[in-house]
Amino acid sequence: MKILEPSRSFLSNFVITFILLLKKPTLAPGKFSVIGPAGPIQAPLGGEAELPCYLSPPQSAQHMEVVWLQSTRVVHLYRDGEDRFGDQAPSYQGRTELVRDAITSGNVTLKIRDVRLLDAGRYKCLIEDGFHQEEADMELKVIGEENESQTLPSANILIIIFCVVIYLTFLILMLRYQVYFRRSKPWMGKISGILVLTCAFEIEMYIFYLWIWHRCRGKKGGVGTNVMES
């Protein structure tokens, strides 16, 4: 019995060691994370935007699938070592490309040429290697949106002046010939009254729309200023 005790002890230690090795955490192959910019990306209107996106730890993304999205729109798709433009949103066709010379080091930065106002918004860089999938979010801001919108107030003011002039002219004519309409053509007087009220309502609604637009534009500009200051 004493001779068997060392062998039993060795066997039990081996079993315990084997169990511990099975429970030991191991790094799953193919695991990675996707890193995007820390803050918003700014690009000039009509210029070029670069949306950075990297794999961590650095590794080649040539065999992976890279999808750039804006909301539900496909901005750019890279699969099987090639760019796939079949599912790309029409508004981005011919304007996007990946930084191909750095894709072997995990750099899948997206370039957008001829930046438009509608390009502004949230973007998502999604990378998948068949076993693992990660993504990074970022925001693109287009500089020059306010400059283009400054041409709107002058046009709106001209429209308001035109509507007011027509309304006043029509009102003066209706008041001048009101007695004549009541005597000769009563139905014409009623129609003219309805037209005057309709024109007045349309002008009031348009002025209200301009007031709302001005308030929203002011709040937008204030938010942008606060972001830049911070």
d(CA 123, CA 41): 10
**In this predicted structure, what is the pLDDT of residue 31?**
82
**In this predicted structure, what is the pLDDT of residue 74?**
95
DSSP 8-state symbol, 63: T
CA distances to 70, 170, 172, 204, 217 from 191, rounded to whole Å, are: 52, 12, 15, 20, 39
Quote the distance between the C-alpha of residue 188 and its chain's center. 54
Closest CA to 144 of 68, 42, 23: 42
Is residue 175 scored above 50 in pLDDT?
yes
**What's the pTM?**
0.53
The tens digit of pLDDT for each residue in 125-158 reads: 999 988 889 999 999 999 985 444 444 556 667 7
Determine phi and psi for 36, rounding to 5 degrees: -115, -175
Closest CA to 139 of 48, 40, 36, 37: 40
Helices of type H across the chain: 4-23, 145-149, 151-176, 178-184, 186-229
DSSP letters spanning 100-164: GGGGGGTB--EEE-S--GGG-EEEEEEEE-SS-EEEEEEEEEEETHHHHHTHHHHHHHHHHHHHH
**In this predicted structure, what is the pLDDT of residue 158?**
72
Structure tokens at 222: 């204030």
* Averaged pLDDT of the chain: 74
Superfamily of domain 33-144: Immunoglobulins (2.60.40.10)
